[in-house]
């Protein structure tokens, strides 16, 4: 931490792997319980809304409602998995357990730690999102090939929301403040970004606002992939997600440096 702002950047292209591996080894002991916990809510929503509400709604945008919803659930699962891993597990390693402080006595920089945490959260989002996709494919509402094709977008989605959550934990004094982010940011995003119903049903002003949100870009990439359709403005969506991943990374590392030096 004595090297000033040089400590904000990863020291090289591979140091972050040590942080990822450390988190993986710790998670491996509770892997089954972690996976079941992450999957219970989205699978319940997929089956409950898909089969229940789907009978009332009928077809949406030329496909069955459950097939429409499955893509949204994959994006939501990636978002929530990466967010909760960062908000709670990474926050504990940073503050309560003081794991980060110990790592900083090695050759790793703060940038290495944050990048390792982001990639780890994105890895967990891939597991969660892919599992929802597998359920959809097993039920016949997506092809197995389309699930494989959607994995890069799922990983990018996890990276985005982990990066955004890093800014939150760099500012939050305690766990109690996370509820504001969950209630005021994540929950509205679920309903505004086309995950559970088409954004075309929203007023024009809400449609424009929703189009700026990261989950909307993720859904607009994952849904056409899972439905085996061409994605409109794919480069724009990928570019927007990359911006959402990179800018919060730089902001959070600067905020963490200030916080850890107090």
Burial of 234 (0-12, 13-18, 19+ CB in 10 A): middle
Cα dist from 73 to 66, 77, 191, 235, whole Å: 10, 6, 12, 22
| Cα gap 101→110, rounded to integer Å | 9
Give the residue extent of every domain in the chain. 4-260
The CA-based dihedral angle spanning residues 172, 177, 179, 181, taken in that order and rounded to the nearest 10 degrees: -40
| pLDDT tens profile 30-89 | 887 777 776 777 777 777 777 777 777 778 888 888 889 999 999 999 999 999 999 999
pTM of the predicted protein model: 0.91
| pLDDT tens profile 152-209 | 999 999 999 999 999 999 999 999 999 999 999 999 999 999 998 898 888 999 999 9
């Amino acid at each position: 931490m004595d090297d000033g702002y040089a400590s904000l950047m990863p020291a090289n292209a591979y140091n972050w792997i040590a942080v990822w591996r450390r988190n993986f080894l710790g998670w491996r002991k509770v892997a089954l319980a972690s996976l079941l916990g992450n999957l219970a809510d989205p699978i319940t929503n997929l089956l409950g809304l898909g089969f229940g509400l789907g009978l009332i709604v009928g077809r949406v945008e030329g496909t069955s409602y459950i097939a429409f919803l499955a893509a949204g659930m994959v994006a939501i699962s990636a978002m929530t998995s990466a967010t909760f891993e960062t908000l709670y597990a990474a926050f504990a390693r940073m503050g309560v357990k003081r794991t980060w402080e110990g790592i900083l006595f090695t050759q790793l920089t703060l940038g290495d730690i944050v990048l390792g945490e982001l990639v780890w959260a994105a890895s967990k989002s891939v597991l969660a999102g892919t599992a929802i996709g597998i359920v959809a494919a097993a039920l016949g509402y997506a092809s197995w090939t389309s699930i494989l094709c959607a994995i890069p977008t799922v990983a990018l989605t996890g990276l985005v929301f982990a990066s955004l959550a890093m800014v939150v934990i760099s500012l939050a004094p305690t766990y109690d403040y996370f509820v504001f982010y969950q209630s005021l940011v994540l929950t509205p995003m679920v309903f505004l970004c086309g995950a559970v119903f088409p954004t075309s049903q929203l007023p024009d002003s809400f449609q424009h606002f929703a189009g700026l949100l990261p989950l909307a870009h993720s859904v607009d990439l994952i849904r056409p992939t899972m439905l085996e359709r061409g994605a409109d403005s794919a480069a724009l969506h990928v570019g927007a997600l990359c911006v959402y991943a990179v800018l919060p990374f730089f902001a959070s590392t600067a905020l963490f440096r200030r916080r850890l030096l107090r």
